[in-house]
Amino acid sequence: MTAVATATPTLPDHLADSRHHVLDLTLRDARAAHALAASCLETYKAADDRRFLDEAPVLAHELPLPVRRHLNSARRDEATHVTVIRGNVVDQAALGPTPAHWSEADTEASQVYGCLLVLYAALLGDVTGWATQQAGRLVTDILPSKGFETSLISASSELELAWHTEDAFSPYRADWVGLFALRNAAEVPTTVAHVDARRVPERVRAVLSEPRFVALPDAAHEFADGPAGDLVPILEGHPDLPVLRIDRDFFRAREGDAEAAGALAWITAHLDANLTDVVVPTGAVCFVDNRNVVHGRRRFRAGFDGGDRWLKRVNLVRDLRRTRPGRLDGATRVIG
């Protein structure tokens, strides 16, 4: 098995920011967390089993105490950018090669890691999914696929995945995005950027706070009719810590609104300048606060040889009821 266990490491510069919460598991705690996930898989058979998702917030309290304290601290910190748990056990031999496409990635060997991600996630919120993304799966997979190298979705590799708020087009977007690196030998960086509220000119802030921007659905969603996009603000909430909602590829100013176009150009340049690399190594789980930061991924060259980067992903909301208008009924967690 592959496991990382360090005591009090010196953090890389990109994780030394106080808004980045980082926990390095001891080998004992990593094994205990993995054993709990394996027990859950034996009982529920799948990471996205409805019964497991309902029980996960209770079962998660059997995770090691340092994990629970770490995630609770991140949950309470309104300024959190990312929270990372490194050193999880990942058996590379048992996992098998990285699949060629997400539709082949829901393997029996990978299910235990999906269960562990759900357990960690349950300490922050409730898992949700999209009917228009990866066939409505609640635990999805991120990996490079042939033919998508220069696409605008997470299956790309040779093209940098531009920064974005996850599912920025929707009012039912996640509060957190959880990523579990089952394999990232090349340490391909995830990118994050935030708004420094102190530097936003007053008039720019006022324009960004008004619904003058077209939010188009991103290319990862398969809509039959292709919605035209709603008019939304980019900044909301308290001026000292605004909630950010933007997508570099899929937002634009409303037609004919030169002032909105100028404000969009300003915030785009600001986020470009703030973009920081966060390496999520093999065995690490990273939760990105989808309200405080945008995230993306640096370009890399995929080998398509079974050893490429492979992540499990979940979307989380703090208040499941907030998404109810977007779900078919109260029993499902799938939006759309």
- The enclosing domain of 112 has a CATH number of 3.60.130.10
Are 67 and 132 contained in the same domain?
Answer: yes
Are 152 and 34 contained in the same domain?
Answer: yes
Task: Specify the range with the lowest mean pLDDT, choosing from 16-20, 65-69, 84-88, 130-134.
Answer: 16-20
Are 61 and 154 contained in the same domain?
Answer: yes
Q: Can you point out the beta strands (E) in 47-137?
A: 82-86, 126-130
Q: Could you tell me the CA-to-CA distances from 88 to 33, 129, 135, 246 in Å, in that order?
A: 8, 24, 28, 32
Tell me which DSSP letter residue 54 carries.
H
Q: What range defines the domain where residue 244 resides? A: 197-268
Distance of alpha carbon 112 from alpha carbon 118, whole angstroms? 10
Residue 225 CB neighbours (<10 A): 5
Write down the pLDDT at residue 26: 98
Write down the pLDDT at residue 8: 37
Q: How confident is the model at residue 1 (pLDDT cuts 50, 70, 90)?
A: very low
Is residue 79 situated within a structural domain? yes
Write down the pLDDT at residue 120: 98
Structural domain count, the chain: 2
Is residue 167 situated within a structural domain? yes
Are 143 and 110 contained in the same domain?
Answer: yes
Say whether pLDDT at 147 is over 90.
yes
Pull the structure tokens for residue 78: 């309104």
Write down the pLDDT at residue 228: 67
Are 219 and 302 contained in the same domain?
Answer: no
pLDDT, averaged across the chain: 93
Say whether pLDDT at 12 is over 60.
no
Q: Using DSSP, state whether 38 is helix, strand or coil.
A: helix
Distance of alpha carbon 141 from alpha carbon 154, whole angstroms? 9
Are 148 and 237 contained in the same domain?
Answer: no
User: pLDDT tens for residues 159-195?
Assistant: 999 999 999 999 999 999 999 999 999 999 999 999 9
